[in-house]
Chain A
Amino acid sequence: MNGSVKLSARGVSKSFAVAGGQTIQAVRDVNFDVHENEFCVLLGPSGCGKSTVLRMIAGLEDPTGGRIELDGHDILRPDRERGMVFQSYTSFDWLTVQKNVEYGMKLNGVPAAERRDRADKFIDLVKLTKFRNAYPKQLSGGMKQRVAIARTLANEPSLLLMDEPFGALDAETRWNMQELMISIMETTGTTVIMVTHDIEEALFLGDRIVFISRHPGTVLQDMTTDFKGGKRVRRKEDVLTVPGYAEMERDIMKLMREQGSEEEQEA
Chain B
Amino acid sequence: MPTPDAKRRTWRWFDYKKQIPARWVIALGIAAWAIFFAIWEISVPLGWVTPLLVPPPQKVLTALWALLTERDFLSDIGVSIYRVVVSFAAASAVAVPLGIAMGAFRSVEAFFNPFVSAWRYLPAPSFIPILLMWFGTGDMPKLALLFIGVVWFLATIVMDHTRSVRAELIETALTLGGNRKQILWTVVVPAAMPNVVIAMRQMLAVSWTYLVIAEIVASSNGIGAMMMRAKRFLHTDEIIAGILVIGALGLLFDYLFRVAHRLLFPYLEEHGR
A residues near B, CB below 8 A?
58-60, 78-80, 82-84, 86, 88, 90, 92-94, 103-104, 107-108, 135-137, 148, 151-152, 155, 157, 161
Contacts and interface: CB of A to CB of B under 8 A. Distances in A.
B167 to A, nearest CB: 9
Interface string B139-168: 000000000000000000000000000101
14 contacts: A58-B171, A60-B175, A78-B175, A79-B175, A80-B175, A84-B175, A86-B171, A90-B172, A92-B169, A92-B190, A103-B176, A107-B186, A151-B176, A161-B175
A94 B171 contact: no
B176 A155 contact: yes
A79 B182 CA distance: 14
B233 to A, nearest CB: 55
Interface of B: 166, 168-169, 171-179, 182, 186-187, 190-191, 265, 267-269
B169 A107 contact: no
Contact of B267 (A60, A80, A137): A137
B183 to A, nearest CB: 9
Contacts of B171: 58, 60, 78, 84, 86
Shortest 10 CB-CB distances between A and B: which pairs?
A80-B177, A104-B176, A78-B174, A84-B175, A135-B267, A90-B172, A86-B168, A107-B178, A94-B190, A78-B175
Contacts, number: 68
B24 to A, nearest CB: 30
A177 B176 CA distance: 22
B191 to A, nearest CB: 8
A148 B269 CA distance: 20
Nearest to B193: A94
Contacts of B186: 103, 107
A137 B269 contact: yes
A107 B176 contact: yes
Nearest to B179: A107
Given A79-B175, A90-B172, A103-B176, 7 more contacts: A60-B174, A80-B176, A84-B175, A88-B166, A94-B191, A107-B177, A152-B176
Contacts of A161: 175
Contact of B177 (A60, A90, A92, A155): A155
Given A84-B172, A86-B171, A79 B267 contact: no
Contacts of B191: 92-94
Given A78-B171, A94-B190, A107-B182, A83 B176 contact: yes
Contacts of B182: 107
A83 B267 CA distance: 26
Most buried by B among A90, A136, A151: A90
Given A79-B177, A94-B190, A104-B177, A86 B269 contact: no
Contacts of A94: 190-191, 265, 267
Contacts of B168: 86, 88, 90
A17 B267 CA distance: 39
A84 B175 CA distance: 6
Nearest to B173: A107
Nearest to B171: A60
A108 B177 CA distance: 7
A88 B169 CA distance: 10
A219 to B, nearest CB: 24
A104 B182 CA distance: 11
A80 B174 CA distance: 8
B187 to A, nearest CB: 7
Contacts of A79: 175, 177
A82 B176 CA distance: 8
Contacts of A82: 175
A197 to B, nearest CB: 19
B267 to A, nearest CB: 4
B184 to A, nearest CB: 12
A58 B187 CA distance: 19
A86 B267 contact: no
A57 to B, nearest CB: 10
